[in-house]
Structure 1
């Protein structure tokens, strides 16, 4: 049975945070040639402080959706050059449950084999509601890789 190897998809919710950068790096390192890596960012539209906290806007810079997406895409390509980058926008004050829902739907659409999460509180998956990662990790249609410690800068 010398058939073609089945392709796989590694899906990485990316928000520019150190842990999401580590998760993306791991996905890129572990991806075989036939494995696609998809980095997906969900941006709260108009939320300047969210973008600054993740180094996607410079201090004092006005909110600019295109600049945020460009900064995120540049970060993704520098961390995992073979990764595909996609984005979606949600409302400025969207709660983590809404963001997690967008991420889960895109992971399902991508037919993700493994979702690579960066989450400090991943050890509290059952009880934590403060983070997007537990909600994304709770879905049973894919395996989950959790990066709990960010790589040194």
Structure 2
């Protein structure tokens, strides 16, 4: 009987610690910047992402993503739970208003961990921030594909 309660307790603890995750992207059919490629340089993309991250996190807690990813990550705390937040720029191809192929970046924000109540709204705010800035600084093209 003791083993039964230990097993049940272990299973409940395991289920409560299972990570939740979510992703929003500027190429999603819904959401901020839907279907847009931002015709900006990698340097500008990094600056925009850092500005968005600084609007949500202490600058000392923001870290570069390992190569070949372009972007940053940090953590958000909600009680004892924590989510890791990643903001990335992905090289993409699009068609400009003249129908010409152009290259630029799309943005993706992702959270994973045990605090989805904090992580999900944070990635929504990050993407809204970066899309607003990217639309101000660069031209927009209709998304066609990611460039590997």
TM-score range, shorter chain: under 0.3
- With normalisation by structure 1, the TM-score equals 0.26
- With normalisation by structure 2, the TM-score equals 0.26
Instruction: Point out the structure with max Rg over C-alpha.
Output: 2
Q: Which has the higher strand share?
A: 2
